[in-house]
Amino acid sequence: MVQDKELGSDNLEKLRRALAGLDICQLALVLEFTEYLVRTQARIEAIEKAKRN
């Protein structure tokens, strides 16, 4: 099961620095992958909900 994890300020700073080093094409790929992960998580949650019902 995918669980939400709260990022601490140290992790957010690392993420900010990593993203700052990317060009526009790389940022687009990061966004596309993030959207894929969100869709996948929604599907997993829907399947788990269907199993419970």
The verdict on pTM exceeding 0.75 is no
Q: Are 44 and 1 spatial neighbours (Cβ–Cβ below 8 Å)?
A: yes
| Distance of alpha carbon 3 from alpha carbon 37, whole angstroms | 12
| Distance of alpha carbon 27 from alpha carbon 15, whole angstroms | 12
pLDDT for 32: 96
pLDDT tens sequence across 9-44:
777 788 888 889 899 999 999 999 999 999 999 999
For 53, the enclosing helix (H) or strand (E) is none
The CA angle 10-11-14, to the nearest 5 degrees, is 90
Give yes or no for residue 7 having a pLDDT over 70: no
